[in-house]
Amino acid sequence: MKIPPTLSVVLSNLLKKPATNPFPHTDPVPTPEGFRGKVVYHVDKCIGCKLCVTVCPAGVFEYVEEIKKVTLWLGRCVFCQQCVDVCPTNALEMSNEFLLATYDKYDDNLRWLKDEEIEELRAKQGGKT
């Protein structure tokens, strides 16, 4: 029987610091440049060109005819960034946010342009025209 080669590694590891990040007590591991987190939508920049609706593989976007904007439900998003790349006005943007766990799949955090906001916008636009 020979001595397992792992023995010295294991024993010297005992004297080293653990190589882990105790997350809830410290900051999470920093996200790299170009990290694809939660999609951020700037409603005012959107011109309603529907390109994002066409390109999204996961069906996150829904076009709202009356106000010529899109609504998003990020419960389905696969973080492929295609909508961000295709948007001509940069109305869409990837953020660094990745702590998206929730108790409710229709959580406010996962939706952009909620029903009330749509109503509001419609009222505004209706007032204008």
Partner 1 sequence: MNIIYITLGLIAIYLYVSFVSLLWEGLDRKLVARMQRRIGPPILQPFYDFLKLLSKESIIPRDANKLFELAPVLALASSIALLAYTPLGFEPLLATKGDVIVFIYLLTLIAFIRVIGAVSSGSPYAQIGAQREIVMIASREVPMMLGLFAILWRLSKLGVEKPFSLGTFYQYNIWEIGTPATIVGTLILLVVFIFWLASEIEVGYFNIPEAETEVAEGPMAEYSGRHLALFKLSNALKEFASASLVVAIFFPWGLSGYLGISGIGALIIDLLFHTLKVFAVLFVSMSVFRAVTGRLKITQAVGMFWSRIIPMSLIGVILLAIDVLGGVIA
Binding residues for partner 1, per CB under 8 A? 1, 4, 6-7, 10-11, 13-14, 16-20, 22
β-pairing verdict for 69-73 and 61-64: antiparallel
User: Which CB atom, from 9 or from 92, has the smaller least distance to ligand SF4?
Assistant: 92
DSSP code for 107: -
Interaction between residue 89 and ligand SF4 (CB under 6 A): yes
100 binds, among partner 1, ligand SF4, none (CB under 5 to 8 A by kind): none
Please, what sign has the CA dihedral across residues 104, 109, 112, 115?
Answer: positive
Question: Binding residue for ligand SF4 (CB under 6 A) from 38, 67, 71, 83?
Answer: 83
Q: 3-class SS at 100?
A: coil
Query: CA 83, CA 76: separation in Å to the nearest integer?
Result: 13
For ligand SF4, the binding residues (CB under 6 A) are 39, 46-52, 55-58, 60, 70, 77-83, 86-89, 91-92
